[in-house]
Amino acid sequence: MKSITLENISKSYQKSEFAVKNVNFKAEEGEFVILVGPSGCGKSTILKMIAGLEEITEGKLYFDDRLMNSATPAERNIGMVFQNYALYPHLNVFDNIAFPLSIKKTAKNIIREKVTATAKMLGLEDYLDKKPKHLSGGQRQRVALGRAIVREPDVFLFDEPLSNLDAKLRVQMRTEIVNLHRKFGATSIYVTHDQTEAMTMGDKLIVMNDGEIMQVGTPKEIYEAPQNIFTASFLGNPQINLFDGTLTGNVFKFNAESTGIQLPEKATSSDYSEKATLGIRPEFLQTTTSDENSIATKIINIEYLGHEKLLYFDFGGLKCLRQNADSAYSVGDKIRISPDRNKIILFDQNGNRL
């Protein structure tokens, strides 16, 4: 097992533009780290630099204390699992899993032992003589996992491995991958654009946007204390509600006419008066009859989800609050809404947390 450290790593494919800009993070030995962000933000580029499949333009990559910038992929002893499985179509399941051992000229009896044990662990023992085209998506991804596991790598890299699976299988494979990690404890870096995978799978989340790291923390830290509007909006479904307004001392006003929301502690100094954004998650908004610290609005849509209802209203854009499934509101009802003031997150004009 190894720790992985990226120090001021940048990557440019073309001379002028950087796909990855000055990235710093450490995956501790045995840690499961998630790199999450929208498509094109540089996640795969980072994985490829760690795997030795792309050159590092600037910065240093370490496995433990060893500088790895110019190590060959083989020297890095990495197991990679890709979105498209990357199986050999002409080989059966046994030979696909055995492939990394066969090219290392491992003894036949050892190959058989290891492949059989790996296939058993992944529930593939009845499919060993099948070709990939006869397998379901989930089984193919298990074969790809088996091929990564069988070589006993120091590090696992996952590049959106569940994106091609249907919703039900994704849930199942999430648990399987997390349990495999618990079993092997190998340092793992997992790339996804899916916020549910990010929230549910990792010890440490690295949120990226446009080649840069926006925030690093546990899922709970990032959900509860996002450092900027990008991170706040990226995690959470439905998204955090964002209200533009003005913050004067301790009072947030949505517009000139509104009485405003009195914040519980001094968010800013008393002479502060600036445009700001108030962020509040849908679970921390409630309906009220009081005029104080509330806004008047109208329900424009209700989504019934079985265990809860989502009430939508328009207040400077579409906003949402969660209600119990038996809540009696109807579309068109006029309501007042107030936030749990202890859960408000304020952002400055540049979108950074105040």
- The DSSP annotation for 81-92 comes to EETT----TTS-
Smaller CB separation from ligand ADP, 17 or 224: 17
In the complex, the smallest distance separating the C-beta of residue 301 from ligand ADP, rounded to whole angstroms, is: 32
118 sits in which H/E element: helix 108-121
The amino acid occupying position 37 is G
321 sits in which H/E element: strand 318-324
Phi-psi bin for 118: left (phi > 0), alpha (psi -120 to 50), beta? alpha
CB hemisphere CA count around 237 (13 angstroms): 7
How far is the C-alpha of 310 from the C-alpha of 305, rounded, in Å? 8
193 token code pair: 């654009």
Chain residues 19-58 in contact with ligand ADP, contact rule CB under 6 A: 19, 37, 39-45
Size of interface with ligand ADP, in residues (CB under 6 A)? 10
| Among 13, 88, 304, 329, contact with ligand ADP (rule: CB under 6 A) | 13
Chain residues 91-110 in contact with ligand ADP, contact rule CB under 6 A: none
Smaller CB separation from ligand ADP, 37 or 202: 37
Smaller CB separation from ligand ADP, 41 or 149: 41
In the complex, the smallest distance separating the C-beta of residue 202 from ligand ADP, rounded to whole angstroms, is: 16
Smaller CB separation from ligand ADP, 48 or 281: 48
In the complex, the smallest distance separating the C-beta of residue 249 from ligand ADP, rounded to whole angstroms, is: 41
In the complex, the smallest distance separating the C-beta of residue 110 from ligand ADP, rounded to whole angstroms, is: 36
Distances (CA, A) of 6 to 26, 179, 217, 282: 6, 26, 16, 36
Chain residues 273-292 in contact with ligand ADP, contact rule CB under 6 A: none
How far is the C-alpha of 148 from the C-alpha of 146, rounded, in Å? 5
In the complex, the smallest distance separating the C-beta of residue 61 from ligand ADP, rounded to whole angstroms, is: 16
Beta-carbon contacts of residue 91 (< 8 Å; ≥ 6 apart): 99, 131
Smaller CB separation from ligand ADP, 39 or 350: 39
Smaller CB separation from ligand ADP, 10 or 288: 10
Smaller CB separation from ligand ADP, 37 or 79: 37
Task: Say whether 244 sits in a helix, a strand or coil.
Answer: strand
In the complex, the smallest distance separating the C-beta of residue 316 from ligand ADP, rounded to whole angstroms, is: 31
Q: Does 204 bind ligand ADP (CB under 6 A)?
A: no
In the complex, the smallest distance separating the C-beta of residue 75 from ligand ADP, rounded to whole angstroms, is: 23
How far is the C-alpha of 62 from the C-alpha of 2, rounded, in Å? 9
Task: Say whether 256 sits in a helix, a strand or coil.
Answer: coil
- Output the CA angle 134-137-143, nearest 5 degrees: 80
Smaller CB separation from ligand ADP, 38 or 123: 38
Asked if residues 91 and 129 have their Cβ atoms less than 8 Å apart, the reply is no
In the complex, the smallest distance separating the C-beta of residue 139 from ligand ADP, rounded to whole angstroms, is: 25
How far is the C-alpha of 78 from the C-alpha of 85, rounded, in Å? 16
What x/- string results for residues 222 through 241 when contact with ligand ADP is judged by CB under 6 A?
Answer: --------------------
Give contact residues for ligand ADP (rule: CB under 6 A): 13, 19, 37, 39-45
